[in-house]
A and B are shown apart, each in its own frame.
Chain A
Amino acid sequence: MKATYLRDTPLTGLLDPFGEAWSRVNTETLALSGTPSALQPTAAVRVAFPEGTIGAIRSAELAVAHNGSEIAFRLRWADASMNTAAAGEDDTLFPDGAALLFPAAPGAPLMSMGAPGKPVTAWYWRADEPDRGRHVSAQGLGSSDTLDRELVKVAGVHRDGHWHVVIARALAVAKGPATVRLVPGQATPFSLAIWEGGHRERAGIKAFAMGQHDGWHELILDPQA
């Protein structure tokens, strides 16, 4: 899939999921599937979510644009139940969430959210933290750590039974141990994950987009013409 170059479009324009800028960007639909139950780290998680019960959201529409210094992903998926609180339904439900995933080392496996020494980076939006995203790194299910709460910019609107979410970041940020750098004119592997909080999805219980390249999709950033 392609990240469209939008010259002179400020980040604020991209962060509005209904903004005019997005009318110039193609949207693609990505199929999502649940993480395998067998991969879940504990027996209690596996019995709570047997095979076939994970991944309530089956597809999402994605549009990607960059302005030469920032890149934004606009996600849209159908979700009739809007779960916006960590303490939803009297503490028994979970917030909806979405994340862009990138391998931060060659060969980092997608399905298990990385492996020791092979981190996966996530740019993470959660419906109960509407105004700031998380920059997350993981080296296997259950190992995610929030590295930063400033770099990832987010916006989320629930309208007409759908979530409309934008997740954005600078193409290049100061190089941390598990940070990806996206370069115009080049390709990068990526995927996305969605948690349906009303289905009690949290942690490794999520739907993700499985691509052709060792599980990853490929994103080609338009060069800055």
Chain B
Amino acid sequence: MNTSKRQLAMVMDLNKCIGCQTCTVACKTLWTGDEGMEHMWFNTVNTLPGKGTPHGWEDMGGGFDAEGNAVVGHIPSRKEFGEAWKFDHEGSYYGGKGDASHLAIAGEPPTWGPNWDEDQGEGEFPNTHYFYMPRICNHCTHPACKEACPRDAIDKREEDGIVTVNEDRCRGYRFCQAACPYKKIYFNHQKKVSQKCLFCFPRIDNGVAPACARQCPGRVRFVGYRDDPEAPIWKLVEKWKVALPLHPEYGTEPNVFYVPPIGPLSFDQDGDIDESTPRIPDAYLIRLFGPSVLDALATLKAEREKKRATGESELMDLLIAYEWKDMFGGFDTDPSTVSVVKWTNAS
């Protein structure tokens, strides 16, 4: 049951993400530059298969079981997220060690980072495979974070379903961190409050798409209301059914959806293309997106063929995103024309 009148959503096309992290940096620059936020990346892009961020988050619990009961969850540590490390600029640039210790890490060497297993992937040459998985908070319809908070310090906006932390009510108890199965809430040890992706609501309120979506050079991200039949979200999720939530079995009903990656074809032992075996194993994609991923892939492949043969496919035209601004469901105001309030630790 949705407690909001309307729901904003995002669709990310994993066939187009190039792992450039422009989204990550756009978000970092806008929202998480203050002290106490060094380890926070409201937007992350990880290579899959991989451990992601925080390290091994899919095994950290939270969310709901099939009966809707809350599942015990783990509070990720800063180390598991990947502590921001510093480079020894001093030694490299001024200490005469530039050649020997080329940008060595200062202090204790890190054991994990937000993009630690980049491009490792899986499989044996020549059938190695990987793809990029951008993640933000899913602004869930059944938000485990909000439902866990004993202080009711997390709001789900009635007008658009954006989930935000009310920092005036938050006491830093971190039940939300344990409860979010996507591990998309962070603890600010400076302010002693939880913080998370806000779907750039100060931009949304001014008709501007979230920074991660607008800055994406890959045209990966669609934005808009779920119930707008004229806009891409509804068409991709409801009409074509090619955009699926990540780990639907976590029970939170995410409002971020993914167009699954088709991936390249396999080579057989003779080095010939093997049409029968996808390089990214079906089982892996089913583990991420549930069994309906196979139907979504079949639709994508069929429409791709149709576009190739006839030049016509509503679905392919949508995904190609010929008109960049059409991706934003009407939230296409130029941000330079509005003034957006930033938060700081001083406020």
Contacts and interface: CB of A to CB of B under 8 A. Distances in A.
A43 B150 contact: no
A44 B148 contact: yes
Given A90-B77, A90-B79, A142-B150, A44 B189 contact: no
Contacts of B269: none
Interface string A83-119: 0011101111010000000000000000000000000
Interface string B185-198: 00101001000000
Given A40-B150, A41-B150, A203 B70 contact: no
A45 to B, nearest CB: 6
Nearest to A90: B77
A40 B70 CA distance: 14
Secondary structure dominating the interface of A: loop
Given A42-B175, A43-B147, A203-B150, A91 B77 contact: yes
A142 B170 CA distance: 10
Given A47-B71, A47-B72, A86-B192, A42 B79 contact: no
Nearest to B172: A86
Secondary structure dominating the interface of B: loop
Given A47-B71, A48-B72, A203-B173, A42 B187 contact: no
Interface in A116-143: 141-143
A202 interface: yes
Contacts, number: 71
B171 A203 contact: yes
29 contacts: A40-B150, A42-B150, A42-B175, A43-B69, A43-B70, A43-B148, A44-B144, A44-B147, A44-B148, A45-B148, A45-B150, A47-B70, A48-B73, A85-B189, A86-B172, A87-B78, A87-B192, A91-B77, A91-B78, A91-B174, A91-B187, A91-B189, A92-B76, A142-B151, A143-B151, A202-B171, A202-B173, A202-B174, A203-B150
Interface of A: 40-48, 85-87, 89-92, 94, 141-143, 200, 202-204
